[in-house]
Structure formats: C-alpha cells, structure tokens
Amino acid sequence: MPNFDLSEDHLAVEQMVRDFAAKEVAPHIQENDAKKHFDRSVLKKMAELNILGICVPEEYGGAGMDYVSLGLACEELEYVDTSLRVIMSVHVGLNSLSLLAWANEDQKQRYLVPQAKGEKISTYGLTEPNAGSDAVGIQTTAVKKGERYILNGEKQWISLAEVADNFLVIAWTDQEKKKNRDHSGLSAFIVERTFKGFESGAMTHKWGIKAGNTGWFKLSDVEVPEENLLAKEGEGFKIAMFSLDQGRYTVAAGATGLIRACLDESVKWAQERQTFGQPIGQHQLVKQMIANMARDYECSRLLWLKAGELKNQGKRNTKESSLAKWVSTVASEQAGSDAIQILGSYGYSDEYPVGRFWRNSKGGVIYEGTREIHTLMQADYALGYRVDKPTRISLPKYEKS
C-alpha cells in the first residue's frame, strides 16, 4: 500500500512555510499587488528560512530535504500569493535543479552553491517574442569564438528578469540545425547579469501575479566563457525539457495551494453571507462550487505528491509532472472564478483576495506548457504516440543525509 502520511520533517517544513507566508507576506500582499511592487526583501527572508535550496543536497549549500518538501513549500507559498511560488519555480525548479543534474563540479561550486544558499538568485530564459510553446522557434544564437561563445538574442516573459543574478539561457550553437529546426543544435548556458552586453527590463503591463517581477532581457554580443556551457553542445533542448519537468512540478503544487486558498475564502463567506433567510452555503448551487474545489484540491494534491515521490525515487516523471500541472492549473482557474462568484459583488473588488487569486491562476494555464500543450501530451501518452526515452542525465534521487 502506498503511504499517504507526511513525515515529521514534511509537516515541520509545511508549518514553517505556512507561518512565514502568513506573517511576513499576507499582511502586505494586497497592497504590493495593487502597486505592482516586487518586494525584494522577501528573497532574503526566504534565504534565511533555507528554502531557496530546499531540496539541494547539503554538500551544495542546500537544506538537503526531499522533493516532496519542495512541493509542500510551493503549495504553502502560493496559498498566500503566486508571486512567491514563482520564485521557487524559476530559482529552484527550473534553474538550480537543472544545475544539480547537468552541471559539472566547477559549475556547481560557482553557481549552484551560492544559489542554494540564496546568496545569488537565478532564473530561466527560454521564451522569446516569437516563440513560447514552440521552443525550437527561438532565435537566440551562441557562436563559438576561441574560448568564448558570443550570445545574441532577446528573451521575454522571464520571471525575475530584473532581479536574478544568474540566467539559464537556451540558444542555437549550430546555425545549420537552426535553419532545419533540428533541436540537437540547441545548447544551454549559464549567463551572469554582470556580463557585458546584458540588459533587462520589466513587463509593466502584466495584469496577473502583479506582486511578482516579470520582464525581458537582451543579449548583445555577450561573451560567455566556454566553462559556462552546461553539459555538452547540442544538449540544450534536453536540458530545457528536463528543467520543465521540475518547474511544472512546482507549478502543480503551487496551483494546489491556490485552490485551497479559494476554497477557504469561499467556505468562510458561504457560512456568513445570508440570502433568503439562510447562509448561502445552504444553497445547493453554492455547495456545488465548494464541492468542486474540495474535490480538485484533493485530486491535485495527490497528483503532485505522486510526481514528487517519483522524483525522490529517481524515476522519470515527465508524464506525471505534466498531468499534475495540467489538472491543478485548470482547476485553480475554475476555483478562482467560482470563488469570485460565491463572494458576489464583493468578490469583484480588490477588497477581497479572490480576484487576485483568479488573475494569478490564469498564468498557470499559460506558462511551463500551456493547457493545450499538456492536453496534447497526455493524449499522446494515452495513444502511445509519445514514449519517454531514457535520458543521459536524470534528477538525482533523494538520499537522506
């Protein structure tokens, strides 16, 4: 029988992150969201909690916890605001876990260790003005010149673009393969903000996750030392997809927290608000919306926990992480919409958080594989059109220290 109980360590990390988010973030989040203000001090506090390297082994500066702990932290953070979980998705999920698996020892010491300690912040740059879902459509190039690669291109919709120190950048190293859309011509690089020719800015017109930082960065003849090539030339696409397996997992756990936030606000309101002589929770149609949220919370949680357990065991989980991300984000969008419905006109204002929850939920069905991309993936697994092949590198299984 599978064991559905969380360990003492899990419960402790869950409680710690819950308390932190409630005390340090919740009191200011509505205001920060309204002002589109990213509070940089939150990074320092997250570093002090030791969650910016939560599942990175202690030998690389992390907290040495398992991958389920990463999911628990994400669920608790997004319960309060999506912008907090996004930090974990890009810094831990997409970037640091990719370094843990793919980087050489020198790169781990130079980049993973300070990232896991929270001394440096990192993110992931795949998306470009003309390519999101179609990753092979990116245009950024990396041309080898002596002991350096010269990078040129522009990335947009990058979380923490204005904040991060280190960027995992996907670019074409083989220009012939670029023409033929052959993804074995893509490579991955570690780029530092301080490299000459790097420039970044905010995307201020964003209407969700407004307390988070999202932006663009431009690479104009940026000289990247060859020591910053991650793994081998030509492995960029595999690394990008590997990163997404980890990032999607964090999005799934976070969206699960968002569903719970919608459920809690809805229950509170439904028990207090009276119409026709009784609390609205007594009306069957309101019960239906609440029941859906309760169902979706439990299903989403089981799905991300399963993906986390597979990660702990070192087993491939592309399918399970995609399923968890797809189900939980679609459900969180519905939960956000229904929470507004339950609060009626009050829900349609910034006086209550449910409008923010719904706006934030919409990001989850777009980034890290849109709803449609995950639908296609799951259909292809079911139809046998997609079978995951063994990879050269996989996420290290969890070893308790």
Contact between 189 and 224 (Cβ < 8 Å): yes
Candidates 32, 50, 122, 127; binder of ligand FAD (CB under 6 A) is 127
If one asks whether residue 366 binds ligand FAD (CB under 6 A), the answer comes out as: yes
Contact between 214 and 161 (Cβ < 8 Å): yes
Indicate the residue among 178 and 374 with the shorter CB distance to ligand FAD: 374
Q: What is the largest CA-CA distance in the chain?
A: 79
Q: Which stretch binds ligand FAD (CB under 6 A): 114-122, 294-302, 325-333, 366-374?
A: 366-374
Candidates 19, 58, 350, 372; binder of ligand FAD (CB under 6 A) is 372
If one asks whether residue 32 binds ligand FAD (CB under 6 A), the answer comes out as: no
**What is the CA 384 to chain-centroid distance, rounded?**
28
Candidates 57, 118, 132, 281; binder of ligand FAD (CB under 6 A) is 132
If one asks whether residue 357 binds ligand FAD (CB under 6 A), the answer comes out as: no
Please tell me the distance from the alpha carbon of residue 227 to that of residue 233, in angstroms, as a whole number: 12
Q: Which stretch binds ligand FAD (CB under 6 A): 4-12, 157-165, 187-195, 301-309?
A: 157-165
- Per-residue binder mask for ligand FAD (CB under 6 A), 184-223, x = binder: -------------------------x----x---------
Candidates 363, 377, 395, 398; binder of ligand FAD (CB under 6 A) is 363
Q: How far is the CB of 155 from ligand FAD (least distance, A)?
A: 6
**Catalytic annotation on 372?**
no
Which residues here bind ligand FAD, judged by CB under 6 A?
Answer: 90, 123-127, 132-134, 157-159, 209, 214, 363, 366-368, 370, 372-373, 376
Residues classed as catalytic: 368
